[in-house]
Amino acid sequence: MRVAVKVRLKRSILDPQGKTVQQALQHLGFEQIREVRIGKLIELEIEEGQSREKIQQMLEAAGRKLLSNPVMEDFEIEYPGELP
Amino acid sequence: MKSAVIVFPGSNCDHDMLRALTLMGHRAEFVWHKTGNLSGYDLAALPGGFSYGDYLRAGAIARFSAIMKAVADFAAKGKPVLGICNGFQVLTEAGLLPGALLRNQNLRFICRPVYLRAENLRTRFTRAIQPGTTLKIPIAHGEGRFHIDPDGLKQLQDREQIVFRYANARGETDPGANPNGSLDHVAGIINREGNVLGMMPHPERAMEAILGSEDGRRIFESLSA
């Protein structure tokens, strides 16, 4: 099963990369785009046959311990079907 | 004094650090990150560089090296740990220092000398610095913007854990003297116990006048004092 972990900077933290991209979009004429914030999408392939609860616990631990830095980032887990 | 210079894959200031320590009369040795033991050493130095290619976040992978368990034990015994640049990033990721280092506000990798104001001269890393002087020391980083939540910042301020701030040559913290957008001009902090220091500037690159400055010596002199 393929699961995605989305990691993004906390709202309270300035994202200069997003701001620069937003300005570039403005220059291209995409003037309706008011704000851009850039994060990371981490895709994980997970062994089948485990309960959703167990996977959720594991991914929360992985997100907290390594995939995000809780000082500056939040993360969200997305399961198949929830993915676009 | 016997010092360990910890080497991760991607460390690139390890030789500068070894030379700086040797210049100051330390017996310094490289210690590979897979080593799980720091017994016999009096100082652990985490040098600058790009450990594990800065993958995921700067310092995020290095903190799981075997040596980091040894560094945590070493620090818990009250022994001095010095993290420079990537070493500082590793120490924050490992939770040995609070806060985090984010992408520079202007998104550029900045490599130039800056001036530092030493704010707390009672630490074992700063006691040889003369009050009222600034230190000219180079920075070389893309991710040095210090961040911490408001409560954390207040604790650092109240407990005098902010050891270095970016300043101008006169020692004033005007906004133009903050190269990377660090919160409260933070360039270096110390843990509550006073034995783990992390700083983004590179004192080991400011050891000889012919290279532009020898102000970095004050930090190593403090350690030897």
Which residue of chain A comes nearest to B55, CA vs CA? A67
Could you count the other beta carbons within 10 Å of the beta carbon of residue A14? 14
CA distance linking residue B106 with residue B79, whole number of Å = 36
Buried b (16+ CB within 10 A) or exposed e, A50-79: eeeeebeeebeebbeebbbbebbbebebee
Q: Cβ contact (<8 Å) for A69 and B100?
A: yes
Tell me the count of A-B CB pairs closer than 8 A.
32
Do B96 and B139 contact (CB within 8 A), yes or no?
no
Residue spans per domain, chain B: 2-224
Q: How distant is the Cα of B103 from the closest Cα of chain A, in angstroms?
A: 8
Q: How distant is the Cα of B179 from the closest Cα of chain A, in angstroms?
A: 14
C-alpha closest to that of B103 among A21, A5, A30 = A21
Residue A83 predicted with pLDDT over 80 = no
For the segment B51-60, the average pLDDT, to the nearest whole number, is 94
CA distance linking residue B155 with residue B186, whole number of Å = 14
CA distance linking residue B56 with residue A44, whole number of Å = 14
- Considering the segment(s) A2-78 as one domain, its CATH architecture is 2-Layer Sandwich (3.30)
The confidence score (pLDDT) of residue B39 equals: 95
ipTM value, please give it.
0.81
For the segment B17-35, the average pLDDT, to the nearest whole number, is 96
Predicted confidence band of residue A81 (pLDDT cuts 50, 70, 90): confident
Q: Which tens digits make up the pLDDT trace of A13-62? A: 999 999 999 999 999 999 999 999 999 999 999 998 889 899 999 999 99
- How confident is the prediction for chain B on average, in pLDDT? 96
CA distance linking residue B182 with residue B32, whole number of Å = 31
Predicted confidence band of residue B77 (pLDDT cuts 50, 70, 90): very high
CATH number 3.40.50.880 is the correct assignment for the domain at B2-224: yes
Q: Which tens digits make up the pLDDT trace of B125-156? A: 999 999 989 999 999 999 999 999 999 999 99
Residue B202 annotated in active site: yes
Q: Which of B13, B26, B33, B85 is an active site residue?
A: B85
Identify the bridge partners of residue B29 per DSSP, sorted by sequence position: B4
CA distance linking residue B41 with residue B77, whole number of Å = 12
Residue B133 token pair: 């002087």
CA–chain centroid gap for A36, Å, is 14
Q: Cβ contact (<8 Å) for B107 and A16?
A: yes
